[in-house]
Amino acid sequence: EQERGLRIADAVIAGGGTLLTVLKPKGTLAPMEPFLILPEVTDTRLWLGEQLFHDKDKTGVGFMSSYMRYVIRNTDLVKPDEVTKYEDLLKPQFKKKIVMMDPTMTGATLSWSSGLARNRGIEQTKDFLRALVKQEPTLSRDVRFIYENVAKGKYSIGMEARPEAMAEFQSIGAPLAYAKINEISKLAPSNAVISLASQPAHPNAATVFVNWLLSKEGQTVASSKGWGAPSSRQDVPREGLSSWLFPGPDEKFFVQDEPDYMMQGEMRLVNNELFAPLRK
């Protein structure tokens, strides 16, 4: 739209990878700091890690922060102790029984692979991914397809990380749970990063909206009634949110940052090469 001179969008809410690695380089996002006017929004002490902006140019605010769990198991088919580390995905019984979000596109499994590279290094991560490809997982670009087919038992394991989708399926009694993986993960906003268009159609309305959304009131509504995930604001109630959205006492994590998103760009190239046989 902007490339054609159209001014339609005011604000954009999406995954950080989409915003910071796709839209931001095209110059379609505006620095948000001039639009943030409420003291309760700009007070960084109220935000996780005292970090308001998601990038050094201050074009994005990640307003949710869930502990990322990437492995979904069908509880009727996979016991908790069967998958406790990523190498367990390489067990013979899971060959052709894994469905995962296409890791060559922006999304959960690209984010997962960048976290692996950060923890293990790129070369070791490549070795693991090559072994995973030999398991012949099914690749999908449809979140519901993954959750529905793991719930139905067509696949034993799914790889996705949408807390709102898991909460929806669990609420209707689907036999789904996240596997507890003994490896450092990340606190990340998933698809809850807000940016403003560099040429907003209604700048005053955009200012009102973004300040309300990032206020305690706005975040309380968005957290419990919208995303079903924890707010990045530390003064927002967490009652009613599932315990798996938070790291347990023995689970280590890092807060997703711009270098992690940049690593996703590198891992996209790696994944394009390694997963090419599965995309034919």
Q: How many helices, marked H, and strands, marked E, lie in the chain?
A: 9, 12
Q: What is the pLDDT of residues 217-251, one digit of tens each?
A: 999 999 877 888 899 999 999 888 888 889 989 89
Q: What is the pLDDT of residues 148-158, one digit of tens each?
A: 999 999 999 99
Partners of 72 in the β-ladder: 158, 178
The per-residue pLDDT for 228 is 81
The per-residue pLDDT for 257 is 84
Nearest CA-CA partner of 101 in 29, 167, 185, 160? 160
CA distance 167 to 195: 26
| Single pTM value for the model | 0.82
Burial of 204 (C-beta count, 10 Å sphere; 0-12/13-18/19+): exposed
Do the Cβ atoms of 164 and 228 come closer than 8 Å? yes
The per-residue pLDDT for 234 is 93
The per-residue pLDDT for 235 is 95
Do the Cβ atoms of 16 and 108 come closer than 8 Å? no
Residue type, 175: P
Tell the residue number behind the tokens 């955009």, with chain if given.
206
The ranges of the chain with pLDDT < 50 are: none
The per-residue pLDDT for 227 is 82
Which residues have CB under 8 Å from 74's CB, separation 6+?
150, 151, 153, 155, 156, 157, 175, 176
